[in-house]
Amino acid sequence: MEKKIEETRQRFKNEYLQDSSDKYDSRDVERLQKDDAWVEGYLTWRIYVVDDTLKMIDESFQWRKDLGVNDLTESSIPKWMFETGAVFLHGYDKEGNKLFWFKVKLHIKDAKTILDKKKYVAFWLERYAKREPGMPLTVVFDMAESGLSNIDMDFVKYIINCFKVYYPKFLSKMIIVDMPWIMNAAWKIVKTWLGPEAISKLKFASKSEIQTFIGPEYLPPHMGGMDPFKYSYPPLPDDDFQTPICDNGPIVSEDETESKEGELESKDTLESSFNSEVAVKPKKVQSIISKDSLRAEDNDKGDTSNKTKGARKPLTTFRGPLLHVSPAEELSFGSKETEKKCLIILNNVTKNQVAFKVRTTAPEKYRVKPSSSCCEPGASVDIVVSLHGGYQASPQDRFLVMAAEMENAGAQELAQFWKEVSRAKVMEHRYNAALLIQPCQLMMTACNARLEQKLDKCLWVQKVLIGLVLILMVLNLLCLYLLGTAQRPS
C-alpha cells in the first residue's frame, strides 16, 4: 500500500501539476502529499489502479477548487437553506454510521438556486469529513409526501457524484424510503449513474422495512420511529456531543452577566463544539480547578485504588501528538455492576500543560470524573466513565476526548481557553460504546434464534394445514352440491 500511495503522489506531481498551478487549490495538493489516508481512500475506491485513481483525484480537486470547498463556512451559505431543513446530519443507523437526511418534499427544482444547493451539500460533507475522517455515512432519502415536482435529476446526480468521485469510501448505503410508484422510472435512471461499485449500496425500503437498517430511536414518527427530534436552525443539528455531568457534582459556573456567581449547572450543553463561528458565552470553570479540588486530588494520589475502583484497566493505546490515550478504540460496558465503569488514561507527552475535556452524545447516561481539567507535562490523568442509574449502553453512544496545549496559559480560565483556542490546535479522539456479552447471553441468543426458527417452521406448517383444510372443505361442499344436483328428478 505504501508503494501505491507514493507512486500516486509522484505521478500526480509529474503528470498533473506541471503548468497547472491554478487548476487546484494549493491546500488540497499539500494535503495529498501528507495525508496517507486520503490517498488510500481514492486508491481503494479505484481498486488500486493508479491510472484511474489519478483521474479521480484530478476531477475531485478541480471540483473542490471550482466550488471553493475549503472555504465553505456556515456564513458563506444563504441562511434560508439551513432554515428549510431539507438536508442535515442526525442520528445513526444500526451499524453506527451517521445518517445524512434528504427531505425530498422540501426540495423544489430551481435553476437559480442549484449552485447554492450544491455548496450546501458540500458544506455538510466537508464538515463531516473533517470531524469523522474515514467514517462512512448512510444517506436517507425521505420520499414521504413528495412528488415529481420535488425530483431534480441533476441535483440527484450531483449527490451521487459526491460519493462516487469527490468523497470516496464515504458511502455506507443509500436508502430510499417510502418511494411513490410514480417515481420508479426516475430511480431506474439513478441506478445507472451509481456504477458497479455503488449499486449494491442502494436500498429501497417501505415504512415497515426501514427498521431493518435504522433503529426506532433515530426514526421520525411517520416512519414508525420514536425520535422526538425536530429540525430547527440555529444551531446546526449535528453538534450532538455534549458535556457529561461530572461525577463529583455539578460544575460551578459564572456567565457574562455575573448574575449569580455561585449558580450550579447540572449540565453544560455546548451547542457547537466544532464550528468556531458559532458564538458561545465564555464560562469560568471553578469547581475542578479550585484549591479544595486540588487538595482533594492530592489526597486521591495517596489512594488511587479508591479513585478507579471498579473500573477496568485499558489494554490498548492511541498515540496522539499531545496525549497518549488508553484505550485506543472503544469503551466496553456490561450488564453487571462491576462492568458499568470504564477507565480512560491520558498521558501528557508534551513539555507544556495540556487542557482536556470529555464529551458524549448521551450525557444523561454517563458520569465522568473529571470531565474537564489539565494534565501536567509528563503526568497522567485517570478518567472514570460510569454508566448511570438504570441506563444501558448502546453502540450508538459515542465519546469525544478533546485536548489542546496550553503554552502560556494557566488553568484558571479553562472555558475561556476552549473558546479562544484554534481548532487546528485541538487533538480529538473518539470512542464508541461497546457491549460486553457474557457466555450465558450468547447461549440465550443462540437458543432464541433456534426457537425463532422452530416457531417460523410451526407457523409455516400451520398455514399449510389451514390451506389444506380449506381445500377439503371446498371439495366437500362441491361433492354435496353435485350429489344434490344428481338426486333431483329430471
What pLDDT digit, counting tens, does each position of 388-401 carry?
777 888 877 888 89
Q: What is the pLDDT of residue 408?
A: 67
Residue bearing the bigger pLDDT, 275 or 316:
316
CATH number of 245-435: 2.60.40.10
**Could you report the per-residue pLDDT of 2-19, keeping only the tens digit for each?**
888 999 998 888 888 876
Domain segments of the chain: what residues? 2-71, 74-223, 245-435, 444-490
Mean pLDDT (whole number) for 84-104: 90
Mean pLDDT (whole number) for 161-173: 86
Q: What is the pLDDT of residue 432?
A: 79
**Could you report the per-residue pLDDT of 113-129, keeping only the tens digit for each?**
899 999 999 999 998 88
How many CA atoms does the CB half-sphere of 430 hold within 13 Å? 13
How many CA atoms does the CB half-sphere of 113 hold within 13 Å? 13
How far apart are alpha carbons 456 and 92 in whole angstroms?
Answer: 30
Residue 262 has pLDDT above 60, yes or no: no
105, 145 Cβ separation under 8 angstroms? yes
What is the 8-class DSSP label of residue 242?
B
Q: Is the pTM of this model over 0.75?
A: no
Class of domain 74-223: alpha beta
Residue 306 has pLDDT above 70, yes or no: no
How far apart are alpha carbons 97 and 213 in whole angstroms?
Answer: 10
Q: What is the pLDDT of residue 247?
A: 46
How many CA atoms does the CB half-sphere of 391 hold within 13 Å? 17
Q: What's the mean per-residue pLDDT of the chain?
A: 77
Record the cell numbers describing residue 280, joined without a space. Answer: 458561545
Based on C-alpha coordinates, what's the Rg of the chain? 29
Confidence of residue 313 (pLDDT cuts 50, 70, 90): low
In the chain, % helix, strand, coil (3-state, to 5) comes to 40, 20, 40
Lowest mean pLDDT among 52-66, 97-111, 186-200, 432-446: 432-446
On the question of a common fold for 74-223 and 245-435, the answer reads no
